[in-house]
Structure 1
Amino acid sequence: MFARMKPIMFCATGSDAGKSILATALCRILRQDGYHPAPFKAQNMALNSYVTPDGCEIGRAQAVQAEAAGVEIESDMNPILLKPQSDHTSQVILNGHPIGNRSAYSYFRNEGREDLRKAACEAFDRLARKYDPIVMEGAGSISELNLKRQDLVNLPMAKYAGANVVLVTDIDRGGVFASCYGSIALQDEEDRKLIKGIIINKFRGDIRLFDEGRQILERICGVPVLGIIPYFTDIHIEEEDSVELAQKSHEAMQGKVNIAVVLLKHISNFTDFDRIENDSRVHLYYTNNVIDIDHADIVILPGSKSTIDDLYELRHNGCAQAIIRAHRQGKTIMGICGGFQMLGIDVCDPEHIEGYIERMPGLSLLPMSTMMNSEKTTRQVEFSHHGNILRGYEIHNGISSFDDEVSQDMLNKEKIVHRHRVYGTYVHGILDNQEFVEELLAPYSNKSDEVVDYQKYKQQQYDKLADHVRQHLDISRLYNL
């Protein structure tokens, strides 16, 4: 029988330092060591979200962390989710449900902040009664002094939870000494005491070369370096941020099925493509270049948080015409969620749910029209398609209606519309289903001899991640905090 552990919070010197992946690793390590952990992030900002079994929407990172911990995913793990709709506005999801759109200015003003803080603290308390320990995650940098009074997610949340804080820094960016020292020195004395250790993440090269650096860092910061985690490329964990999508190779590869995912400005749920990207028959890349689209066998329009704005951009950057041309040349076109809506005749928004544009012509590859509405659909789904039981989840505003009853019936019952080499669906995670992947690739590749159990594959990746981090992190010292 273990004594209860204090919560552990990963904060960082800046964005994309690796807090989420380290929290995922620790959730797995704790589970392996006999604990019953659960993840928690008071406030998240992401377009990549997930639907819980009871139809609530949370950030994808906390869903991944819950999977690694082996616990059911629930909205208390991420009570506040901000989904950017433009450079200045976001949809606010509270306890799994949308409560409206807010500008950044109005959101970060003090009015209503205490109600959000109370909701976050209540969610944490509910989790803490069921799980031990809570693995918490901060957001961005802990030294944004101008936002400290409004902060719901970093040190104020750690203080409420009584958490030990571990500061994560990305050495691959450089400036590790200044960023660590400055992040700690800028805190007031009470908050400084919360920070119990440092993890240096994304190290490249021989770790022994940083022995002196570790000693210097411990001396100037006054806290121990708990680990130096090497950079890795051979472990595949679903990511929350889309910053690296455009870096993937665009050059078509002979002998592969080339799949172009159109890189939308407001792309959401790009983890839809993780499973098929790891199919040995496939070369998948993200692009908004018309030449790259021309070279693809399959073109996929992904989900979007701002369908009309992204459709407007496609018409102006030439991608819309390239997709239509690809269809005329016999290529396969697929749309998922917002991308599905774009394939129709038009997308209408008379209530200004997304913005000021009330109607935008679609690509007219499917005979349907979409009407945006204020009610958001969030649900997990299980359905039959060509005799196979498929699973996924839906997150969307808008209702799509077809001119012909056959297509409408297909959408209602099978959740997938297929007409003349065009596929459309509202179901995220559709490509996690092996049966549908085989159908999509059939015109271009033989059936795979290897049947991939994607859930089993993900569990193997969590174990690999835990092994990697355990090897380079002083776990016993972390436990003894």
Structure 2
Amino acid sequence: MKKLKSIMFVGTGSDVGKSIVNTGFCRIFKQDGYTPAPFKAQNMSLNSFATPEGFEIGRAQAVQAEACQLACHTDMNPILLKPTNDKSSQVVLNGKPVGTQTATEYFMGNNKAALFNEAIGAFRRLEQKYNPIVLEGAGSISELNLKSRDITNMRMAVETDAVTYLVADIDRGGVFASVFGSIHLLDEVERKQIKGILINKFRGDIKLFEEGRTILEELTGVPVIGVLPYFRDIHIEEEDSVSLEDKFKESHSSLINIAVIRLPRMANFTDFSVLEYDPRVHLYYTDRPTEIEKADIVIIPGSKNTISDLAHLRKIGIASSIVKAQKDGKKVIGICGGYQMMGETISDPQGIEGDLPLISGLGLLPINTVIENEKVTEQCHFKFKDYADVCSGYEIHMGQTSLKHPENYLNKLSQGKEDGYYLNEKCWGSYIHGILDNSVVIQDLLEGFNTEDINFDYNQFKEEQYNKLADAIRENVNMDLVYQHLSE
């Protein structure tokens, strides 16, 4: 296949749809016979994924790699920031944590040149193996106070000479000002890198925007390559917790109500994506005791700061609601940090998560956890309970958990390790993210409720969604012009 230039999607702001657009183009290039790979120099997210080699990257790039039908690699996201509180983040470089820094230390420090070199090195390695590289920016390209230290947006676009498209969300309003302002605030070299505009999340008849398209092209001097509709029937795993705001709903009378506890620093909420699309289930996120009482199943998710989030649950009265749910015979499970919370104690002797050295757990499982510096990041295969099916998932956690009754483990891993704790059919916990992506686990979780037996293949569902997304982009984007830009 012909060698194409790299392509990049940057935004007028956060949550304008860059990740979804990037994912769709990854699948299009794969369908068209190319060998694409995703790339984002720096990502800030609590949603992460373990690579086959046992390193950590942002979940969005793992999803994009899946759209490319590739195994994910740290070169696709060499720098990952995982917020630990409102002011500090763990810095993950090339898949491994290298320390925790405040926003001031990270953005104002002198390490950005070194990090930019690391990012460029990762890009060059990908460029040698894949064609084209599909880059993603972060947030807005026009944050002037941070621009000199930016290593993700236009600096990366210029350095890689990527064909760059500006994505704007018309649904939030102000699209003309945001597009014109974003481009106008760039310097001349950066403006030359912008080859087109992509309008996203248009509601209604797209033909009504024809005049708007002309106005934007006259204002900016670059073409509008497409206007994408507001997708309602295409479901791609989302990276940012801002997407969860639409999911803080209430219980539903006719389905199995599953309440995921809303945590301030909830991590890897994509663990529950499979439940969103299961027709037997009504999934909702909540921090209200009344909604926990209405749930049939309660799930405690992962957290980037387990001790702080557990203290928060106690403060707002949710902790006692979870304990009551378990005593009332409801199913209660925990994943990763949620599993740790279900135990008797969590200790942090080195002060890794904060100033609180010890906290009492919910007391639902006879386990104790010690937070440690060493971070476990690995993909795994395992057998759930006593089922014969071989399941898959991944671990990302800091801390070791000891079981008072080691024989009551939940999962047997292929490398001989054991994971989790099984109290009874209605109460268990596990470190394994993605455990619910396995149909045998879902069937077991929903057992006992009056529903039809459905074998929902989540992997097949995701493949269908990537193809639907690619079709929608092809239908609404001038792909001939895109390929022309990539071939110049």
| 1:158-177 matches, cutoff 5 A | 158-177=157-176
Structure 2-normalised TM-score?
0.96
| 1:80-479 matches, cutoff 5 A | 80-248=79-247, 250-385=249-384, 386=386, 387-407=388-408, 413-420=417-424, 421-446=426-451, 448=453, 450-479=454-483
Q: Deviations over 1:409-460 (max 9, x none)?
A: 8677552422142110000000001111111111224462x32222111111
Identity %: 53
Give aligned pairs, total.
479
How far apart, in 2, do the equivalents of 1:31 and 1:221 lie?
31
Once the two structures are TM-superposed, the CA of residue 4 in structure 1 deviates from its matched residue by 1.0
Q: Kindly indicate whether the alpha-carbon contact (under 8 Å) linking 2:344 and 2:362 is maintained by their aligned counterparts in 1.
A: yes
Q: Kindly indicate whether the alpha-carbon contact (under 8 Å) linking 1:170 and 1:201 is maintained by their aligned counterparts in 2.
A: yes
1:39 partner letter: P
Q: Kindly indicate whether the alpha-carbon contact (under 8 Å) linking 1:411 and 1:417 is maintained by their aligned counterparts in 2.
A: no
Q: Deviations over 1:221-272 (max 9, x none)?
A: 1100000000011111111011132422633222311100001010111111
2:399 partner letter: G
Once the two structures are TM-superposed, the CA of residue 149 in structure 1 deviates from its matched residue by 1.2
2:243 partner letter: E
How far apart, in 2, do the equivalents of 1:63 and 1:197 lie?
26
How far apart, in 2, do the equivalents of 1:414 and 1:308 lie?
24
Once the two structures are TM-superposed, the CA of residue 216 in structure 1 deviates from its matched residue by 0.5
How far apart, in 2, do the equivalents of 1:112 and 1:409 lie?
43
Once the two structures are TM-superposed, the CA of residue 328 in structure 1 deviates from its matched residue by 1.0
Q: Which runs of 5+ in 2 are unaligned?
A: none
How far apart, in 1, do the equivalents of 2:147 and 2:451 lie?
56
1:203 partner letter: F
Q: Does 1:73 align with 2:72?
A: yes
Q: Which runs of 5+ in 1 are unaligned?
A: none
Once the two structures are TM-superposed, the CA of residue 310 in structure 1 deviates from its matched residue by 0.4
Q: Deviations over 1:448-477 (max 9, x none)?
A: 2x3222211111110000001110000110
Q: Kindly indicate whether the alpha-carbon contact (under 8 Å) linking 1:401 and 1:408 is maintained by their aligned counterparts in 2.
A: no
Once the two structures are TM-superposed, the CA of residue 162 in structure 1 deviates from its matched residue by 1.1
Q: Kindly indicate whether the alpha-carbon contact (under 8 Å) linking 1:246 and 1:287 is maintained by their aligned counterparts in 2.
A: no
Structure 1-normalised TM-score?
0.97
Q: Deviations over 1:6-51 (max 9, x none)?
A: 1111001000010000000000111111111100000000000111
| SS at 1:299 equivalent | strand
Once the two structures are TM-superposed, the CA of residue 305 in structure 1 deviates from its matched residue by 0.5
| SS at 2:118 equivalent | helix
Which position in structure 2 is the counterpart of 1:34? 33
How far apart, in 2, do the equivalents of 1:126 and 1:477 lie?
28
| Cα distance, 1:409–1:143 mapped onto 2, change above 3 Å | closer
Q: Kindly indicate whether the alpha-carbon contact (under 8 Å) linking 2:50 and 2:379 is maintained by their aligned counterparts in 1.
A: yes
Q: Kindly indicate whether the alpha-carbon contact (under 8 Å) linking 2:375 and 2:396 is maintained by their aligned counterparts in 1.
A: yes
How far apart, in 2, do the equivalents of 1:411 and 1:321 lie?
31
Q: Kindly indicate whether the alpha-carbon contact (under 8 Å) linking 1:267 and 1:303 is maintained by their aligned counterparts in 2.
A: yes
How far apart, in 1, do the equivalents of 2:397 and 2:250 lie?
32
1:267 partner letter: M
Q: Does 1:8 align with 2:7?
A: yes
| SS at 2:352 equivalent | coil
| SS at 1:388 equivalent | coil
Q: Kindly indicate whether the alpha-carbon contact (under 8 Å) linking 1:58 and 1:79 is maintained by their aligned counterparts in 2.
A: yes
Task: Name which of 474, 481, 484 aligns with 1:480.
Answer: 484
| Cα distance, 1:409–1:175 mapped onto 2, change above 3 Å | closer
| SS at 2:391 equivalent | strand
2:464 partner letter: Q
Mean Cα displacement is larger for which, 400-409 or 116-125?
Answer: 400-409
